[in-house]
Amino acid sequence: MAVFTAVEAINIAMRVEQNGQAFYQAAAQQMQEPAIKALLEDLAAWEVEHYKTFQKLAAQISDPPTLSGTEWEQYDLYMQAALENALFKGPDKALAAAEGLQSGEEALRMALGFEKDSMLFYYDLREMMPEAHKETVETIIREERGHALKLANLLRSGKEL
């Protein structure tokens, strides 16, 4: 099985950020509680910033695929399947998930899962990066971890959500 190239992994990361932004924006619109609404809006804004960071990285890295035509087709199909089956399965699924939210607690739990899944993906992405770019991905991992901690602390606080 082929491994992701850094450029392809960054392209996936950019789609992950778009999916997250779509979810957070839609979820914020569903919330009545101002604090939860504000947090979800902040998370959407962070996703936009992460997207821009990955966009800059993509412009700096070029590792054209060294696969044959058939291998590349299989690799591309694998990547599409991986993306469709993870991290909200695309913007339309992120929106559908947000529209079905029943409570602030459910929104925060779903957001926490998204942040954890994103971190796991970015840990793998970091390993695919040239040494000069690993710190950029590390920064995003730390930010995602911070988001996860905020969400977990809010859930643990026992406040009425």
Number of other residues whose CB lies within 10 A of the CB of residue 159: 12
Per-domain boundaries in the chain: 6-156
- What's the CA gap between 57 and 63, in Å, rounded? 12
Residue 123: predicted pLDDT: 84
Q: Which of 145, 161, 156, 117 is nearest to 27 (CA)?
A: 161
Residue 2: predicted pLDDT: 40
- What's the CA gap between 9 and 133, in Å, rounded? 13
Residue 20: predicted pLDDT: 87
Residue 62: predicted pLDDT: 66
What does the pLDDT profile of the chain (161 residues) look like in tens digits?
345 566 777 787 888 888 889 889 999 998 988 988 998 999 899 899 989 988 888 888 765 545 566 766 766 666 566 566 555 555 667 777 778 788 888 988 988 988 888 888 788 778 777 787 788 888 888 888 988 998 899 889 866 55
Residue 26 amino acid letter:
A
Give the predicted TM-score (pTM) of the model.
0.74
Tokens of 136: 């950029």
- Please write down the HEC assignment for all residues of the chain: CCCCCHHHHHHHHHHHHHHHHHHHHHHHHHCCCHHHHHHHHHHHHHHHHHHHHHHHHHHHCCCCCCCCHHHHHHHHHHHHHHHHCCHHHCHHHHHHHHHCCCCHHHHHHHHHHHHHHHHHHHHHHHHHCCHHHHHHHHHHHHHHHHHHHHHHHHHHCCCCC
Report the CATH number of the 6-156 domain: 1.20.1260.10
Residue 48: predicted pLDDT: 95
